[in-house]
Amino acid sequence: MKEEDGDGVDSSEEEDHPHVPYSPTRYPEDTMLEKSREFYTLMNQRRTVRFISPESVPREVIDNVIRAAGTAPSGAHTEPWTFVVVSDPMIKHQIRQIVEKEEEVNYRQRMGDKWINDLAKFRTNWIKEYLDVAPYLILIFKQTHGILPNNKKRIHYYNEISVSIACGILLAALQLHIGPDLLLSFLSLMSHR
């Protein structure tokens, strides 16, 4: 836990935030138990799939899922994420080409025999047809820093952890709202920055 690099931070654009009372409702115990069993059962049906349905969903569903992900906690509340939704077939295909090119280098050179061997049982490779097939691609980027109005850097503490937590909420939302379908490999996407 060391100081991260950066050219200085000016917090003066943000006011001091007073503590405010927070008195949320708490469910009765039997409701908690029932909900927690249901949620586990549903989440346990999620799979990381590599063959994806071309059937679309309303765009508002995708937007709401991303809004939910954006409620994730983040280091010093910096919210260091960018979500990009792509539905244009040409752009999806360009993304597929970029990803496959990088992944082929990963498989052939970067990952090494051990890693390839560990993945063998999953029969993955660098061909990612689903990037053309899926109605939407959600690209997720971490922002290592932001830019303040005075052009100085604003450090984003724990940016990778924060973005990954947001991804977890995104996955839960997709599983809850769409049904267990349409799930990309987020790990894979996140590694291509």
**Residue 169 in the binding site for a copy of itself (CB under 8 A):** yes
**Residue 129 in the binding site for a copy of itself (CB under 8 A):** no
Using CB under 8 A, count the residues that bind a copy of itself. Answer: 92
Give, to the nearest 10 degrees, the angle between helix 159-177 and helix 59-69: 140
Stretch of residues binding a copy of itself (CB under 8 A), selected from 89-97, 131-139, 143-151, 181-189: 181-189
* Closer residue to a copy of itself (CB): 15 or 149: 15
Rg (CA), the chain: 20
- State in angstroms the smallest separation of the CB of 90 from a copy of itself: 26
Site for a copy of itself in 35-74 (CB under 8 A): 35-37, 39-40, 43-49, 53, 55, 57-58, 60-61, 64-65, 67-69, 71-74
- Interface pick for a copy of itself out of 94, 118, 127, 147 (rule CB under 8 A): 118
Strands 153-155 vs 145-147: parallel, antiparallel or unpaired: antiparallel
Buried b (16+ CB within 10 A) or exposed e, 130-169: bbeebbbbbbbebbebeebeeeebbbbbbbeebbbbbbeb
| SS3 category, 108 | helix
- State in angstroms the smallest separation of the CB of 86 from a copy of itself: 19
